[in-house]
Amino acid sequence: MDVELIFKIAAVGIIVAVLCQLLIRSGREEQAMLTSLAGLIVVLTLIVSQISGLFRTIKQLFGF
Amino acid sequence: MNIVGICALAVVTVILIAALRPKNAEIALLLGVAGSVLILAFVLSQAPSVVNTVNSIVAAAQINTGCVAILLKVIGICLVTEFAANTCRDAGSQALAGNVSLAGKILVTITALPLYADILNAVIKLLSYS
């Protein structure tokens, strides 16, 4: 069980939020949106493997 | 990790979510999903002993093992459905959560259909005795 995943996702979220604020303040809304999208994709790639592992465990355990 | 660890993980996750939500709602949602996946994965890693015990009891009592397989499959469907519905409810789309829950109920009924035939056969057998 890797609790670091939670902190990793939270760190990505905070960094993305700060970057978005900076970019919006300096008048680059498109780049801010792209940064937010990139952060979302990074977090999704972190999570998807965990979700698939969970579902594989459930399938094995309950004999789907 | 025990129940204390699980509770601590949930509290830390919810604090991080509350800190992150006003700035970055999507990643806060994904943080919640990650927390629930970690907790469920940990709990389910200890569940095989329960399944093995149930299987051994059923084998000792010489009950039809098909019933137990259906029972386990229904438990799995409920687990997955509840996970998806809770995630949808967390994201604020109640209609999707309700529909996933409904789909889970219907699939549970479909999975349990062979048991109805067993019950009817048992009733017919009892009636033929009298």
> Same structural domain for residues B70 and B33?
no
> Same structural domain for residues B39 and B54?
no
Question: For residue B69, which phi and psi values (nearest 5 degrees)?
Answer: -60, -45
Interchain contact B78–A (C-beta under 8 A): no
pLDDT digits (tens, 9 = 90+) for B35-83: 999 999 999 988 899 989 988 998 898 887 788 889 899 999 999 999 9
Residue B105 has pLDDT above 90, yes or no: yes
Domain that includes residue B17, residue range: 1-46
pLDDT confidence band for B118 (50 / 70 / 90): confident
Q: What is the helix (H) or strand (E) element at residue B26, kind and residue range?
A: helix B25-45
Query: For residues A46 and A5, is the Cβ–Cβ distance under 8 A?
Result: yes
> Closest partner residue to B48 among A13, A14, A61, by Cβ?
A61
Residue A1 has pLDDT above 60, yes or no: no
* CB within 8 Å: B42 and A39: no
Give this complex's ipTM: 0.86
Length of chain B: 130
Domain count, chain A: 1
> Same structural domain for residues B20 and B70?
no
> Same structural domain for residues B86 and B124?
yes
Domain count, chain B: 2
* CB within 8 Å: A64 and B38: no
pLDDT digits (tens, 9 = 90+) for A10-30: 999 999 999 999 999 999 999
